[in-house]
Each structure stands twice: as structure tokens, then as C-alpha cells.
Amino acid sequence: MSESYVVEVKNLNKTYGKNKVLNDVSFNVKPNEIVGFIGPNGAGKSTTMKCICNLIFPDSGEVIINGYDLFKDREKALQSQGALIEGPGLYPDMTGKENIELIAKLKNISKDRVKEICEFTELREALKRKVSGYSMGMKQRLGLGIAILSKPKFLILDEPNSGLDPTGTIHLRNTLQKLKEENISILFSSHQLGEVEKLADRIVCISKGKIIETPKEMTNKYIYIVQVDNSEKAYEVLGDKLQKDKLEKISSDAIKFELENQDYLTEILKRLIDSGVTILDIYKDSIDVESIYREVYGE
């Protein structure tokens, strides 16, 4: 495995009868990255994810997870991965805690880790109740906790927002951000494009079984607009640091700039301040994912 990737998907192909569902699907997931996987129904998202989880065998191709070939070293590859596909697979007649303890026993997980996961779910007293009485949001929290029991390097989620109310959606978003901070890379699919925009560091698009080029607008996640007291001076200062096509004076008091990495933002702001430019406001430029989606897929 390249040190740059936690997951490498190479030339996956899958055919059902005369229907080619996957056609040379290839993409990567980097460490500490959340990747949104989008496309219309039937595009191949779920089939790709099931191949990565080893629930479906592709006709050809490779999946490398944390350095292990999924089809040659299945056990070690899957040890590095957690997954929620088509909703949490839970035992409804058992309590939430019993569900966690059962999987922990099967995977030889310590009691200390079980305790950590019980706290992670934030279900508290509800862990003593049968899962059959849980809301969808509670089931998602429990399922997510079970998925990360073994401290995977990579987490794959198929439509994790499905069936969640707004509170559950916000909680899930915050939870996934925390997991990223704990060095877990995430690949998730969703039809809720607003959530993709808020959560994903990068977007991978699929259509009719093929990975298609992601529109440039979707890749420019680190575009900022800074309001200053002297835009002429700010433009001159940043012009020494950024390429001209990454920098634009959009009004008498505002500059727009694009960064390759969000980590550079502090350096850019310090440069402005040190040059005597007063920063009045700064915000991230929004990306209208829905408009771009309609442009790409015609829907």
C-alpha cells in the first residue's frame, strides 16, 4: 500500500447477467479523510461498498485496506475496517449493551473497550433496553459504536443519514467529525447533498458504474473570503504567496483565495496581519453541491 492511502480501490468490475454494474471503478481514501460517495440510484455506490466490505465478490479488481489485499488476506484487511451497510445489523430482542458485548466477545474485545463504546454511543440508560424499542437515530449510534469496536483505520457507511430526523443527522455529523480526529478515515454515501457538503473533505462521483471526473467546483473545498480594511494591499501581500488563479479581489474590501490545504489558512492570515492589514471578517465560501449534482447527472 502506498503510505498516502488507507484504502485503494483498483479497477473493480462486476456484472449481473448482461448488466455491467461496475466498470473499472478506481479511487483512494487518504488517512484522516472523509470522502463523500455520490451518484443517482443504480449508479453503483452500494455495489462498490459491498465489494469493499467483501459482501460481494467482484469479477475482477483489487481492494487494499491498510496495506492488506482484501481478496488475498481477507481477515487482516477486514480487521482494519468497520462498516454500516443498509442499516445497523442489530439483534432487536437484546439490549443495546448486550448487542455490544456479543460482538465484543466474538472479536475478543476487552471490557475496557466495551465501556468506552457504551460511553461513545451516548445512549446511557437506553443501553439497558431492548433494541426493538429504539428510534432510528439510536440504532445508528449503537451500530456505529459496534462498527468501531476494534478501532478500525477505515469506516464505510452506506446512507448513514437515512431515516434520521434533524437532531439525529446533526449528532451523526458531529460524531463522524470526532472519529476523523481519532485517525479514522471514512467513506460514506448519501443522497442528502447538504450533508455531503458539510461533512466531506473530498467527493467521488459515480455514474452508470463508472467513476467520473469530479467537477472542479466540488474539489475546491478550501476557498475563503476575507474582508479587510485595505484590499489592494491584501491582494499584493497574498500575491507573493498564492498563484494568481487562486486569488481574486471581489470587492473594494474583500479578497477570495483558494488553498490546497486548510492547514495553510493560519499562515495566510498571519501574513496579512504582519503586513499591517486589518482582518474584519473571514468565512468559507459555500459550494452549491445540489446545483453541481444536477449539472453532472442531469437530475
CATH number at residue 284: 3.30.70.100
pLDDT over 50 (residue 1): no
Residue 249 is assigned to a structural domain of this protein = yes
The answer on 238 and 151 residing in a single domain is no
Whether residue 218 has pLDDT greater than 70: no
Q: What does the CA dihedral 89, 95, 99, 102 come to, rounded to 10 degrees?
A: -140
In a domain, 1, yes or no: no
Rounded-to-integer distance, Cα 108 and Cα 201, Å: 33
Q: Are residues 198 and 245 in the same domain?
A: no
Largest CA distance in the chain: 67
Query: Of 181, 216, 251, which marks where a domain is finished?
Result: 216
Pairing of strands 154-158, 185-189: parallel
The residue among 216, 251, 277 that closes a domain is 216
pLDDT at 289 over 70: no
Run of H or E residues at 205: strand 202-207
**Are residues 282 and 245 both part of a single domain?**
yes
Q: Which runs of E-coded beta strand occur in 70-170?
A: 81-84, 154-158
Q: Tens digit of pLDDT for each residue in 84-120?
A: 887 778 999 999 999 999 999 998 999 999 999 999 9
How distant, in Å, are the alpha carbons of 43, 146, 284 from that of 291?
Answer: 19, 36, 18
Whether residue 226 sits in one domain with residue 189 = no
Indicate whether 231 and 188 sit together in one domain.
no
CA distances (Å), 260 to each of 3, 219, 222, 264, in order? Answer: 19, 10, 7, 8
* Distance from chain centroid for Cα 87: 17
Could you tell me the pLDDT band of residue 284, with boundaries at 50, 70 and 90?
confident
What pLDDT was estimated at residue 2? 47
pLDDT at residue number 216: 62
The pTM score is 0.75
Verify that 207 and 224 share a domain, yes or no.
no
Tally of structural domains, the chain: 2
